[in-house]
């Protein structure tokens, strides 16, 4: 989105320009230049950033099990630690990243990486043993978790409603600007339309968040 008319011509003969301080109208123009990042990718990245920000103790590096072990008490992710790093007793352990950050310490125990590895392999091998059975319902499960058809229909409906209410608001303002109206009646009418607009907008934002969440879920599943 590009803002046009940032500057205004101050004097026609000298061609001197100045910052447009509402001397002339300004306009935002959408899709005026080629986007560096396509909107779909941008939305998915913003969703991922928001998810990581809200996830307690989330980190992007630090071991095989990063982001896969979640504390059952506080909901934070587990992180790796090295014990006795300079001695022969060196061990890598995993513990809640918020274990010592709260006033009340998290009671979940630490886990030794040497113990985690065989447990993970056992779980992985059990999946391979039942691979055919799992794959039979895999696509159906993904479709159920990531389907946006109902959301898309609701989204179209809300977009149509918000366009109608926006037009009514514009007509209301224009009518008040050109015709002498009872201001109390005008304010009441405008407030009613504005509240209706906000309610629809909030619903549309919620629908868009759900749709984006499902799209992001599909993207993450396909990357596995």
pLDDT digit string (tens) for the chain, length 224 residues: 566 667 776 655 566 777 777 666 666 666 767 777 777 777 777 777 777 676 665 565 556 787 778 888 887 888 888 888 888 888 888 888 878 776 777 788 888 988 888 888 888 788 777 777 766 777 777 777 778 888 889 999 999 998 999 899 888 888 887 888 788 888 898 899 999 999 999 999 898 888 888 887 777 666 55
Do both 219 and 167 map to the same domain? Answer: yes
Task: Give the predicted TM-score (pTM) of the model.
Answer: 0.50
What pLDDT score does 200 carry?
Answer: 92
Q: Are residues 189 and 160 in the same domain?
A: yes
Mark whether 97 and 65 lie in a shared domain: yes
Domain count, the chain: 3
Long-range contacts of 183-189 (CB under 8 A, 24+ apart): none
Is residue 76 within 8 Å of 96, Cβ to Cβ?
yes
User: In which region does residue 31 sit, left (phi positive, over 0), alpha (psi from -120 to 50) or beta (all else)?
Assistant: left
Among residues 65, 99, 129, which one ends one of the domains? 129
- Give the structural domain span for 213: 146-223
Residue of 65, 69, 92, 96 lying closest to 81 (CA atoms):
92
Question: Residues 103, 159: one domain?
Answer: no
Q: Per the structure block, which two tokens stand in for 153?
A: 């229909």
The verdict on 164 and 122 lying in the same domain is no
Task: Taking the CA atoms of 34, 40, 41 and 45 in sequence, report the sign of the dihedral they define.
Answer: positive
Please check whether residue 72 lies inside any domain of the structure: yes
Q: Which residues of 193-218 are buried (b: 16+ CB within 10 A; e: fewer)?
A: beebbeebeebbeebeeebbbebbeb
């Amino acid at each position: 989105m590009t803002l046009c008319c940032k500057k205004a011509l101050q004097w026609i003969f000298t061609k001197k320009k100045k910052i447009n301080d509402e001397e002339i109208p300004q306009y935002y123009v959408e899709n005026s230049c080629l986007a560096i990042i396509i909107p779909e990718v941008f939305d998915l990245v913003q969703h991922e950033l928001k998810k990581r920000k809200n996830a307690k103790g989330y980190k992007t590096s630090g071991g095989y099990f990063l982001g896969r072990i979640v504390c059952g008490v506080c909901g934070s992710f587990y992180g790796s630690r090295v014990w006795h790093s300079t001695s022969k007793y060196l061990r890598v352990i995993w513990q809640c990243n918020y274990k010592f950050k709260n006033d009340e310490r998290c009671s979940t125990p630490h886990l030794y990486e040497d113990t985690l590895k065989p447990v993970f392999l056992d779980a992985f091998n059990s999946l391979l043993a039942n691979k055919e059975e799992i794959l039979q319902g895999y696509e159906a499960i993904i479709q159920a978790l990531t389907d946006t058809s109902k959301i898309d229909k609701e989204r179209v409906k809300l977009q149509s409603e918000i366009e109608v209410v926006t037009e009514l608001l514009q007509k209301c303002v224009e009518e008040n600007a050109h015709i002498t109206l009872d201001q109390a009646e005008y304010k009441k009418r405008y407030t009613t339309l504005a509240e209706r607009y906000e309610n629809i907008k909030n619903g549309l934002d919620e629908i868009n968040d759900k749709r984006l969440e499902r799209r992001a879920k599909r993207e993450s599943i396909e990357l596995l």
